[in-house]
Amino acid sequence: MRRAAITVLPIFLLISLPCPAQESTDNLFSLDLLSYTLTGLLNQGWGIGLNYEKKIFDYLSVKGNVGHMTFLTSIKNVYNTSVSISAFANYYPLSSGLDKLYVSAGGGCDFMNYFGKGELPPTTRDLLIHITPQLGWKFNVLRYLMIDVSTGYKFIIISTENYHDIKEYVNPGFRFGLNCIILFNRLKKEKKQ
């Protein structure tokens, strides 16, 4: 782990050095590649997460997230469909734009619904409310593409837990994130020119 950190950190620093092709951006739209998609696929289902981030002031932004998963639970023939909504405040100490190192704090809700032919829980809905501090790094890899690598810890503060294994699907505790950010505003600028 230590060797990986020593190898990866200099690469992040070098990749994110400013270059003429990297003008600042005030809005970011991203596709969540790990959290929803991977959880869905690992449980014989699917998932997708979308994020939108808006710069409020230099060094500060707000980010909203919406996600959906449908997957098979550990109970035979019982499926779960979920919707997740969250909001975060991000602080960028090394950049006045929406790139490089950021510290983030936020929270959200996960709404779960169970269905299928198997033995359903007595109440077929669950609600989980969480808060999550995060630390991450965003860097440009192409003119229209940015990568966001993050880690954090998801604290479940309220859980109805009508289904006993529900926390396994919303990934509480230590988290690792990987998002691909498409820089649509740069595409729009070039089309206008």
* Structural domains of the chain, ranges and CATH numbers in brackets: 26-94+102-171 (2.40.160)
Per residue in 125-138, pLDDT (tens digit) is 989 999 999 999 99
Q: Which residue has the higher pLDDT, 27 or 171?
A: 27
How many other C-beta atoms lie within 10 A of the C-beta of residue 141? 12
**pLDDT at position 179 over 90:** no
- Residue 4: per-residue pLDDT: 40
Give the torsion sign (CA, 175, 177, 54, 170): negative
- Residue 39: per-residue pLDDT: 80
- Residue 53's nearest CA partner among 102, 101, 89 is 89
Long-range contacts of 119-124 (CB under 8 A, 24+ apart): 119/75, 119/76, 119/78, 120/75, 120/78, 121/162, 121/163, 122/162, 123/160, 123/162, 124/162
pTM of the predicted structure, to 2 decimals: 0.77
Per residue in 62-78, pLDDT (tens digit) is 999 999 999 888 888 98
Q: What is the mean pLDDT of residues 134-152?
A: 90
